Amino acid sequence: MREFELTRRRILAGVGGIGLASATAGLGTSAYFSDTETVESNEIRAGEVDLYVDYETAVSQDGVTTGSTTNDGTIDGDGTATGEYVINDLTPGDSGSLQFSPKIVDNPGWLWIGSTVGVTDYENGQTEPEGDVDGSDAGSLGNVPSGAGAGELSAVLQVDVSYCTESGGVIHEFQNPADYTLADLFKELESGFLLDGDATTTGTDAYPSSPDSSTQNGPCLCIEWEVPTDVGNEIQSDGVAFGLTFAAYQTRNNPAPQNPFADATVLPGDAIQSAVDDASAGDVVSVFGGTFGDGSDYTEAIDVDTPLTLARASAERPVVEHSNGSTVDVQADDVTVDGFEIRNPGTQGSGDPTDYAGTVGIDVSSGSENVCLQHNVLADIGTGDDDANPIGILASDGTSGITIYGNELRNLEGTDEDEGAVQAILVNESGTQITDATVRGNTITGLLDTRSTVAVRFNGDVSGVIDGNEISDLNTEGTIPGSGGAPGGFTQVISLAQGGGSATGPSNVTIRENTISDVETTTSDNFAPPFHVVVGSSTDGSTVTIESNEFSGDSQDDEVYVGDGTGSLDLSAVLATNSFTPAGTISGTRIERS
């Protein structure tokens, strides 16, 4: 029996052109599902693999009649199937769902979902209220989508993805981050994802076969969407279109699944670096973890010097553990690293206590712009070396446009042997400005040092957003190296500072919707109490916004919720627009725990 190969250019079943439109009253755009697959004789033989995808759509608009249309149908691989999904007068609070029910007839198969076209936002012109808050006017008001690339709808439509039954009951939710958007989902789907044939067990199984196109033996896929009620006028008249593709091939004679949306697939036991070295600009390298291949972890450092996407292939997260320096080193623009578990205990013992960037999880080298680090776990950084000076993610000079989104950073540990700080995320300018840095939706916990501990630090001439992160369990305890026993330094959750290699501090920074708790500096007589947010004296405080954060104090410690070294923050406004438990009070240039 001959094996066949699926590539990014041989997609078996497609769903294309799904659209939702946000409009003023009475204005909407049509949206279609379509299957335009072409099956060639040398790719699939009759009776071996036949993929059907049923779909159902729904919308809820608070009982208001808007003329929106939902539809159901089947993509059967025998031509083009279309089903209209029209959402008129989309407003904050509206919601809906899409359900896909795949069936592989005759043989079980590896079933993939991905997107070869991604998301396209349409501005569709602007109403007067939208023009007041959004300067990206493009296209024109009307029934035909226009102004491609200028709309905002995909970035505000929140989605939840789950495995579900035919009747829509949830079997197992995906790891949907808080405030997960349509744009976030399709960013991940660009690299393809292997669907699980049995969502009730651990691991990833092949998708079961069905005897015919009507019998559902595997789990369905449900995508629920909602427009948040707090969305403003910036989405008026906007529209969005996106395309989904399902692809399947038989498991028989194909025990190692190959990702049809990727240019290279790596399994445990193979070398990630070899695939990266062979890649061309724009390629996707898909990496399996867990029980695939020989089931081992990856132990090599990874150097990425080509613009590419490096992403996990399934729910089983690939583990990459190195023992010195940086586990992943990014040295190119437009790189995405998505879905790995990255460790660096530093057990080789070669750390230098004076090297403030000694042991690093992901290092984004100077000048590497528009890098995206998302949905990774960075754990056990520096736990095996007293001299480690551990940093989870380090972005150096000129790394403008960096996005650090939806990662989990946990268990970073230093000692009184090192001379730097434990830092989960450090964006560090030392000569070339860093603009548009985004640190969003990360979970940071379990940071411990005897000198100083920082969760997120913008050093030098950096601008950007620190948004929606959950940060807890930070502690500094011990003595300063070489001091003869003097107490340790400080604990700072979010720090805006000048940094040793910069001539200035950050500016144009927004800190919002972060949740901060369990922050300590337990060594007695430390020279500073723990700070939740510290705005250093070289920061342009007049351009810093701190709003909608939740600060929770520890009753055992003196704590500073917000410290303003610039004297230009409006602390009364900060006190009024954030939540403090226990209450905060203004004392000079600080908001302190009462």
Q: Which residues pair with 59 in a beta bridge?
A: 96
pLDDT above 80 for 427: yes
* Residue ranges of domains in the chain: 13-250, 322-593
DSSP 455: E
Read off the pLDDT of residues 448-467 as tens digits, 9 standing for 90 and up: 886 788 999 999 999 999 99
Mean pLDDT value across the chain: 81
Q: How confident is the model at residue 361 (pLDDT cuts 50, 70, 90)?
A: very high
Q: What is the mean pLDDT of residues 126-152?
A: 43
Q: How confident is the model at residue 47 (pLDDT cuts 50, 70, 90)?
A: very low
Q: Are 66 and 93 in contact (CB under 8 A)?
A: no
Return d(Cα 554, Cα 593) in angstroms, integer.
Answer: 9
What pLDDT, on a 0 to 100 scale, did the predictor assign at position 537?
95
Q: What is the mean pLDDT of residues 320-341?
A: 94
What pLDDT, on a 0 to 100 scale, did the predictor assign at position 482?
60
What pLDDT, on a 0 to 100 scale, did the predictor assign at position 285?
98
What pLDDT, on a 0 to 100 scale, did the predictor assign at position 125?
45
Q: Are 6 and 247 in contact (CB under 8 A)?
A: yes
Least confident of 82-86, 189-193, 204-208, 264-268: 82-86
What pLDDT, on a 0 to 100 scale, did the predictor assign at position 325?
85
What pLDDT, on a 0 to 100 scale, did the predictor assign at position 237?
60
What pLDDT, on a 0 to 100 scale, did the predictor assign at position 4?
34
Higher pLDDT, 186 or 131: 186
What pLDDT, on a 0 to 100 scale, did the predictor assign at position 534?
96
Return d(Cα 109, Cα 146) in angstroms, integer.
Answer: 40
Read off the pLDDT of residues 211-229 as tens digits, 9 standing for 90 and up: 999 999 999 999 999 988 8
What pLDDT, on a 0 to 100 scale, did the predictor assign at position 49?
63
Higher pLDDT, 123 or 590: 590
Amino acid type, 533: V
Q: What is the mean pLDDT of residues 478-491?
A: 66
pLDDT above 90 for 525: no
pLDDT above 50 for 442: yes
Q: Which residues pair with 509 in a beta bridge?
A: 464, 544
Q: Is the peptide bond before 353 cis (omega within 30 degrees of 0)?
A: no
Q: What is the mean pLDDT of residues 192-209?
A: 94
Return d(Cα 457, Cα 259) in angstroms, integer.
Answer: 37
What pLDDT, on a 0 to 100 scale, did the predictor assign at position 464?
98
What pLDDT, on a 0 to 100 scale, did the predictor assign at position 177?
86
Read off the pLDDT of residues 71-87 as tens digits, 9 standing for 90 and up: 788 877 554 444 556 67
Q: How confident is the model at residue 551 (pLDDT cuts 50, 70, 90)?
A: very high
Read off the pLDDT of residues 271-324 as tens digits, 9 standing for 90 and up: 999 999 999 999 999 999 988 989 999 999 999 999 999 999 999 999 999 987
Return d(Cα 506, Cα 300) in angstroms, integer.
Answer: 35
Q: pTM for this structure?
A: 0.86
pLDDT above 70 for 402: yes
Read off the pLDDT of residues 6-40 as tens digits, 9 standing for 90 and up: 344 334 333 433 333 222 222 222 232 222 232 23
Q: Which two tokens stand for residue 168?
A: 């829509």
Q: What are phi and psi of 535, to 5 degrees?
A: -105, 105
What pLDDT, on a 0 to 100 scale, did the predictor assign at position 481?
57
DSSP 312: E
Q: What is the four-CA torsion angle of 166, 171, 176, 180, rounded to 10 degrees?
A: 30
Read off the pLDDT of residues 226-272 as tens digits, 9 standing for 90 and up: 988 887 666 566 677 777 888 888 887 788 899 999 999 999 999 99
Return d(Cα 382, Cα 361) in angstroms, integer.
Answer: 9
Return d(Cα 197, Cα 103) in angstroms, integer.
Answer: 11
Three-state secondary-structure class, residue 524: coil
- The continuous run of DSSP H or E covering 286 comes out as strand 283-287
pLDDT above 60 for 144: no
Residues in the chain: 594
Angle at 454 between CA 448 and CA 179, to 5 degrees: 105
Instruction: Indicate if the alpha-carbon torsion angle 79, 84, 90, 93 is positive or negative.
Output: negative
